[in-house]
Structure 1
């Protein structure tokens, strides 16, 4: 069962608890959408709103908090006493925080200063994913989707081949037409279906990133930095068609636009940012390519050069042979 935690000012970390307990706390007004939350498997503390779909918060009407009474000016003596009490409380909180036993299974700690609205945490410093960083992620994702596609194709060929040979062996050639038509349908439809499930599922998950994006440390968010819904992720995936129609110019636009957005990002109102953007730790954002992205780009360039060399090694002798045949034919 997934264990949930949330962080309240003055109380610190609350949990572990089940998802039902978090929903109850939200319904009772104990926590709000901007309360920092974490669950086992998440990479960082996030505002509770980021988990609204997972916790089904949209269908819950939270209780309204009673307005706080206006502050009454205190006398100088009371202010001095209150200041001393606050200092003692801060010392006690610091000591208890350090006294808490550390565990590799404990969720990340969040300080009281981490609480607040989502925009206040993140909007001041956002690192947008550059063109080459996104290319490196695309290379990894293309390999993953292609491997899944060929696995499906191999399984399909095995079953279709067995069915076709069985039909032919029984002198029923018409029965083989069905499996063969199914095979052609899979050949044309399997790749887009696998690609759609892959991109939509991962980019709308809590990680907000495909395996390739995770590897290079970037993620996808909406225009406000929030996690995409399933339908929003579907719209972003479908808008890739516009980049194909523009002969991939839509992808190249990410190298020149202000927020590094491709045509599909503009149409779907999405951003591709560093994995630590729009979190409580924007200082961890990586502004360069990173080791993984550099390695992937170098290997990709080497493979491209090797491919071009192989094609030239095949094409040049074939062209020379063609010239010799043409010369012999004209001389004869």
Structure 2
């Protein structure tokens, strides 16, 4: 006998139950034609109305049990209110109150729940969207810049040591002019490649954010809430170089554009939004800086101030 799962009035997954029990629930009006159901063999959750023919053998001979028309057993208004339409991008959740999405099409509903931000299918449109301003994005860039800088330095040291050894074995002087040029060129290329891969991969991942952006609670998406592709992520990284080359004007455009887009966002058709934007909980979005961003900006601001004081003191000492 086929076991079925169904979504109850609170959108929680119930089951497994046999077809006869599902029929009983329907007759008792605890579920209705728009209730989402699933059994092994179905690619995704479907409305009960779409598979009602499978329950003919489970129905009793009595008219009340065998009649599956909308007119005979139409759901009450209370059943309909709040029920998702069959075409909605909605999936029943597990028993956990915090689970927000079922597995994608083709996956078993027995799989553990995942956060809604982990799947492009979980995009929920129609709610308010908080676009992220200049300083919160600066805080994220500072974190990411520190991470990329440390990793890049380690990789560059290893690569330069290897190349220096190769040049020395080949009879070239690594400290010579040509050796210095090659080493510097390799170091720059490695840094660019690492940065491009870092930003593009994280932005195109299911997280839609780099570690810096995740720390301050923001993400990069298309204007419709979908995550960007790896190719678009690479293009966006190199577009940020353009934003910096024009005297940082590309970044300052965040302050003046309607959706707080920098030049590289406009070029690649992306937006930076709160991590809860385009989810089923848009009310959790915040337009302020947040604790992490404030702490990061304060720390880097203090370090910058100390650096300026040290430079000024050194210049004054040298002029004495």
Give the direction of change, closer, same or farther, for the CA distance of 1:198–1:101 in structure 2 (3 Å limit).
Answer: closer
Distance 2:159 2:249 in 1: 35
Shift of residue 12, structure 1, vs aligned partner: 4.5
Which structure 2 residue ranges, 5 or more long, are not aligned?
Answer: 16-38, 54-68, 84-91, 100-110
Aligned counterpart, 2:59: none
Q: Is the 8 A contact 1:164 1:180 kept in 2?
A: no
| Matching residue within 150, 163, 169 for 1:160 | 163
* CA distance in 1 between partners of 2:77 and 2:175 (Å): 87
Aligned to 1:314: 314
Partner of 1:147: 150
Report if aligned partners of 2:225, 2:278 keep a CA contact under 8 Å in 1: yes
Partner of 2:287: 287
1:272 aligns with 2:272: yes
When the two chains are superposed, the root-mean-square deviation of aligned CA atoms in Å is 4.3
Partner Cα distance (2:202, 2:316) in 1 = 44
Give deviations 1:214-242, integer Å, cap 9, x for gaps.
Answer: 10000000011111011121221121132
TM-score, normalization by structure 1: 0.62
Which consecutive residues of structure 1, in runs of 5 or more, have no partner in the other structure? Answer: 1-6, 16-24, 36-64, 91-96, 111-116, 322-332
* Greater fraction helix: 1
1:120-135 correspondence to structure 2 within 5 Å: 121-135=124-138
C-alpha separation between the residues in 2 aligned to 1:247 and 1:153? 28
C-alpha distance in structure 2 between counterparts of 1:245 and 1:109, whole Å: 38
Deviation at 1:245, TM superposition (A): 3.1
Match of 2:113 in 1: 107
Matches within 5 A, 1:38-77: 73-74=71-72
3-state SS in 2 of match to 1:232? helix
Quickly say closer, same or farther: Cα 1:157–1:232, change in 2 above 3 A: closer
Which residue is 2:190 aligned to?
190
Alpha carbons 1:160, 1:180 under 8 Å: kept: no
Contact 2:13-2:95 within 8 A present in 1 as well:
no
Per the TM alignment, residue 176 of structure 1 is displaced from its structure 2 partner at its CA by 8.8
What TM-score, normalized by structure 2, do the two folds share? 0.64
Instruction: Give the number of the structure with larger relative contact order, counting CA–CA contacts within 8 Å between residues 6 or more apart.
Output: 1
Is the contact between residue 160 and residue 179 of structure 1 (CA under 8 Å) also seen in structure 2? no
C-alpha spacing 1:284/1:184, structure 2 compared with 1 (3 Å) = same
Question: Which residue of 1 is the match for residue 18 of structure 2?
Answer: none
Check whether the contact 2:200–2:233 (CA below 8 A) recurs between aligned residues: yes
1:25-55 Cα shifts (integer Å, max 9, x gaps):
9x965359xx9xxxxxxxxxxxxxxxxxxxx
The whole-number CA distance in structure 2 between the counterparts of 1:220 and 1:245 is 22
After TM superposition, where is structure 1 displaced by more than 6 Å over at least 4 residues in a row?
101-105, 174-179
179-188 or 276-285: which moved more? Answer: 179-188
CA distance in 2, matches of 1:118, 1:103: 14
Deviation at 1:173, TM superposition (A): 3.9
**Farther off after superposition, 217-226 or 156-165:** 156-165
